[in-house]
């Protein structure tokens, strides 16, 4: 799998699964232009979650874009969407 948008001048995409404290990564679910979504297990609450990470080593603009996306998702209000 590769990101849908790859800029040769950008840093190379992360290939290895990340290690995130409190989560066991189970599988990769999908990739987009800036992120990778993994199926993971929350080791404390023992539940399956979707864990989104940045596909590239974060630069300042990527972190800002990720923060804007999180803010937009947090504003969603729907009975089938778990709040962020």
* pLDDT score, position 14: 57
* pLDDT score, position 56: 67
* pLDDT score, position 18: 82
| Contact criterion met (CB below 8 Å) for 15 and 22 | no
Q: Along the 84 residues of the chain, how does pLDDT read in single tens digits?
A: 444 444 445 555 556 788 899 999 999 999 887 788 999 999 999 999 988 887 666 667 777 877 888 888 888 888 887 776
CA 25 distance to own-chain centroid: 12
The pTM score is 0.60
CA 9 distance to own-chain centroid: 22
DSSP for 5-58, written as a single string: S--TTSPPBP-SPP--TTEEEEEEEEE-SSEEEEEEEETTTTEEEEEEEESB--
């Amino acid at each position: 799998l590769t990101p849908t948008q790859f800029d040769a001048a950008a840093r190379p995409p992360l290939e290895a699964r990340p290690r995130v404290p409190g989560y066991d990564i189970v599988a990769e679910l999908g990739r987009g232009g800036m992120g990778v979504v993994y199926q993971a297990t929350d080791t404390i609450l023992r539940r399956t979650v979707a864990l989104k990470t940045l596909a590239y080593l974060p630069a300042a603009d990527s972190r800002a874009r990720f923060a804007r996306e999180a803010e937009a998702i947090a504003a969603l209000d729907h009975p089938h969407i778990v709040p962020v």
